[in-house]
Amino acid sequence: MTYSTGLKGTTLASDVLWKQFTDSDDNAVFVSSWLALLCSSLEGVTGALVLLGKPDSGPYSPIAVWPDPAHNLLYLVPVAEQALAGRRGVLVPGETDESSAPKSRHIAYPIEVSGKIHGVTILDVKERPQRLLQDVMRQIHWGSAWLEIVIRRSDDGESRATIERLAALIELTARSVQFEKFQQMAMALVNELASRLQCDRVSLGVTRRHVIELLAVSNTSAFQKQSSLVQATQTVMEEAIDQQCLIVSPAADQNADACITRIHDDFIKRHELAAACTVPLQGRKTTFGALFLERSSAPFDPATLELLRSMGYLLGPILETHWQQEHWFTAGMLRAPLRLFRRIAGPEHLAIKGGIVSAAILIMTLAIITTEYRITAKTVIEGAVQRTLAAPFEGFIASADARASDVVRQGQVLCTLDSRDLVLEKRKWATVGDQYSKKYRQSVANHERATAQITDAQLKQAEAEAALLDEKLLRTRITAPFDGVIISGDLHQRLGSPVQQGEELFKIAPLDHYRVIIQVDERDITYIKAGQKGALVLSSLPHDPFRLVVKKITPVSISEEGKNYFRVEAQLERISDLLRPGMEGIGKIESDRRTLLWIWTHGVLDWLRMKLWAWTP
């Protein structure tokens, strides 16, 4: 487009540009007229272009060039790249004269909408003062608001198209899934598509045993599956399913370079159609089937093809689910063994065959090899004898010389009770005894027999009380009855506190006599007998196993943590100085020899027997 330099020619060109700017619906014409008006309003502009592309990613391509689309403006690309990279306006020197002084300036200003860069405007202007250059950049900034309108209008158009397509998909899906039977659903779908898309015929096929089978044809209640038309339709569908793409004939831009359409082309020529399209229906794992649409009026437009492509992804899983629900027994229960047999007997799937053979060999090996069956259970070490030391009388704790886990010797003082009250009471009864003794001698001297007898009885009572106090004083020192270890008892925090008569102070177990308590689960108790041998590994001594012999089985079960177990008493064959009462570990009792297969599966089999017994009426 050229512009006259005369006043009248300039006015006519300006009117044309303003008309294009205000009336055009084409974005390219709108941007070109905007750029021409901008450059005409600025002095000294020798060239300009507008680049637009995908937001923030590009690529950005020219949509408008001024003054002539054939004019080469590649020298403006570097300044455009600077503006896009920096996301801000850029002003750099352009062409220079012999003295290296700039003769022109390159101005680039990014087009930003909603925080995203959609393109850039670049101008080549003659050299002028800095103030005038700033005015040019300001004009570009203000004028870019019109480009924002173009971009937002394009986004709104795409959004409306997407919404309309989604609404159509939802409506088609809703009308199809309202039927319970798959055949009714298929007929409703093909009839609705034929009516909505102005198609002469719409067919639905399902992939069965790697072959497409036609199930529904629009506006047709019954058809011969062996007819030539049905066979040709199934062949056309297979062409699209084999290539896993939507095929339209005559070929549109969407698949012109992607898919082979030879069978489709032959079909429309033979049946004198304007267009034909096959849409693969993608299931959850494989292609479930296909839709074949025929038109004799007009080709399929891009919007319809996009709708059909989206429908293939949306309706495929829905139709597949309804098909499987209706044919789950015949298609699943009966075909699964056949598929497995084909995998085993066929020439393929060597990994599956190798796995099955390996599993069979492993099972046979486990059923032949025998080993010692050992019952595993939680085990606790207890002392063979446990002596409880209790408070001999009411009193107060004076000292504590030992605590739990201490190893003590026979006669060693563990603690003492306060004896001051006993000493005072003993002195009291000693004084009373002296008084009764004097009174007794005086009564004998005065020949008062009755008084002498009473006084003698009172004297013996005082002597007995004194003897009792002597015994209590001896028992204020709590000593160890034998060599052993204190299992429980720590009085260091109770010095001076009172104790009641009979209150437990310490519990002692010997160091050379232990018994092992094995908590055997009730499911394994039938395999346990007295005299069986086993081994014990303690948590504190994992590298030192102890051999043991079963001595006694307690006939009463104990419930703990939701499980029932029996206490099985065993005796250690050797004693270690490292053993202490209360140690825990894992014990294994040797029962008899069994196969590895029985050892690893009898628990599950016993559980299944119990469940079967519970469920059997």
In the chain, the domains with their CATH numbers are 7-158 (3.30.450.40), 177-331 (3.30.450.40), 387-507 (2.40.50.100), 514-615 (2.40.30.170)
**What pLDDT is attached to residue 5?**
34
pLDDT-derived band at 173 (thresholds 50, 70, 90) equals low
Could you give the residue ranges of the DSSP H alpha helices within 56-129? Answer: 77-86
Query: For 70-83, what is the mean pLDDT?
Result: 77
**What pLDDT is attached to residue 527?**
87
Per-residue pLDDT of 208-228, as tens digits, reads 877 888 989 988 878 887 788
The tokens describing 6, both together, are: 């005369």
Q: 3-state class of 300 per DSSP?
A: coil
Could you give the residue ranges of the DSSP H alpha helices within 446-529? Answer: 449-474
The tokens describing 58, both together, are: 């590009």
DSSP 238-289: HHHHHHTS-EEES--TTTTTT---HHHHHHHHHTT-SEEEEEEEE-SSSEEE
| pLDDT of residue 160 exceeding 60 | no
Would you mind telling me the total number of residues written for the chain in this entry? 617
Query: For 439-453, what is the mean pLDDT?
Result: 83
Pick the most confident of 307-311, 315-319, 320-324, 586-590.
Answer: 586-590
Distance from first CA to last CA of the chain, Å, rounded? Answer: 95
The tokens describing 180, both together, are: 């319970």
pLDDT-derived band at 20 (thresholds 50, 70, 90) equals low
**CA distance linking residue 170 with residue 167, whole number of Å:** 5
| pLDDT of residue 21 exceeding 80 | no
**What pLDDT is attached to residue 4?**
33
Question: What are the angstrom distances between the C-alpha of 488 and each of 337, 384, 388, 402, 507?
Answer: 66, 16, 9, 10, 5
**What pLDDT is attached to residue 278?**
92
| pLDDT of residue 338 exceeding 80 | no
Greater confidence (269 vs 344) lies with 269
| pLDDT of residue 35 exceeding 70 | yes
Contact assessment for residue 279 and residue 308, using Cβ atoms and an 8 Å cutoff: yes
**What pLDDT is attached to residue 591?**
86
Average confidence score pLDDT of the chain: 79
